Amino acid sequence: MGGGTSVLERLADGKISSSVELVSINTDARALRGLEKLGIKAVQVGENVTHGYGTGGDRDKGEFAAKQDEEVLRSVLQNTDMLFITAGLGGGAGSGIAPVVASFAKEQDILSVAIVTVPFCFEGNKRKCVAEEAIMKLEQEVDALIVIQNDNLMELPEAKQMTIANAFDLTDEVLGNAVTLITQIITTTGDVNLDFADIKTILRQSNSSDAVFAVGESEKGDLSEAMERACNSPLLKRSIHGAQGALLYIIGGTDMSMYDIGTAVFAMQEKMAGNESIIWGYMEGNNEEAVTVLLIATDFINEEIF
């Protein structure tokens, strides 16, 4: 899946934990070339359907191709505790393959998170409809679904000077940061520790897959600034207003005070539903000057979209 592959390349370049396996799935053999050298496992599906080419934007063909190689995909998912599915929706491969992979993960009781992008409005109604259909299918299969709106890039102050490459790098960075920090939480022992069970609790406490994964940073070590940036990420389809469940993980310096943490959590609570369940953790970072927060919000009681 082309959009998803660029995220995998970013993760591979970032030296992600060895406990994480990166897998690119596509019908297009050419798109998979060279990935093994980067440490990304390449899986071609539907060779007898597309003959090694793309799907031509046909979502049904992408879905059929994935189902034709069901055994291969199920084998890839073996011994997996948590699965991240990332794809650029609107085309045939990502929109068709991602929901099929998600359905296999659900059958195997694998905690799954889909982080996807939707097309710019200028790409036309057909691609928009393909993306919407894929989103509806993913909602039925994954534990959490995070939708990044490419159109929101147009609203950023720097939009007029932003190149196409810069725009897609920004969305890739959002996706990559979420995966990297979740992995860090699971594989690293913090001062106030969180683990896989905590993430599973937050993601599965809701009957809905709607979720917000956001990362906020402050280079000057201001936790409130980092929280504000996480709570108001311009690329996400919604804010954290109305969320009943949240996981907050803070990476900061040795001088981080409980007052700072308490203030940040209270500010987050004010944006939530009022009957919220919050799990938080803290770990000292390598950079004493900076603070990073990862925020996961789930179990929304409203349909507010910003």
Tell whether the torsion through CA atoms of 134, 139, 144 and 149 is positive or negative.
Answer: positive
Q: What is the pLDDT of residue 305?
A: 42
One DSSP character per residue, 108-132 reads TT-EEEEEEEE--GGG-HHHHHHHH
Amino acid letter, 276: E
pTM of the model: 0.85
Question: pLDDT confidence of 236, banded at 50, 70, 90?
Answer: low
CA 292/CA 252 separation, integer angstroms = 6
Question: pLDDT confidence of 158, banded at 50, 70, 90?
Answer: low
pLDDT (average), residues 71-90: 94
Q: What is the pLDDT of residue 243?
A: 84
Least confident of 44-58, 121-135, 164-178: 164-178
- The neighbouring-strand residues paired with 277 are 245
Q: For helices 59-68 and 92-107, give the axis angle rounded to 10 degrees.
A: 40
Least confident of 56-65, 75-84, 139-148: 139-148
Tokens of 221: 């070590």
Q: What is the pLDDT of residue 159?
A: 62
CA 137/CA 159 separation, integer angstroms = 32
Contact present, 25 and 101 (Cβ < 8 Å) = yes
Residue 2 has pLDDT above 70, yes or no: no
Does residue 181 or residue 68 have the better pLDDT? 68
CA 232/CA 214 separation, integer angstroms = 8
Q: Average pLDDT of the chain?
A: 85
CA 216/CA 45 separation, integer angstroms = 37
CA 290/CA 222 separation, integer angstroms = 8
Q: What is the pLDDT of residue 235?
A: 64
Q: What is the pLDDT of residue 232?
A: 76
In tens, the pLDDT along 107-152 reads 999 999 998 888 888 888 999 999 999 999 999 999 988 888 877 7
Phi first, then psi: what are they for 23, rounded to 5°?
Answer: -130, 130
Highest-scoring range by mean pLDDT, 17-31, 34-48, 182-196: 34-48
Does residue 51 or residue 121 have the better pLDDT? 51
Does residue 179 or residue 136 have the better pLDDT? 136
Please report, rounded to a whole number, the percentage of residues in the chain having pLDDT higher than 90. 36
CA 302/CA 262 separation, integer angstroms = 26
In tens, the pLDDT along 243-287 reads 888 888 999 888 888 998 888 888 888 877 676 788 888 988 877
CA distances from 92 to 60, 65, 89, 223 (A): 7, 10, 8, 41
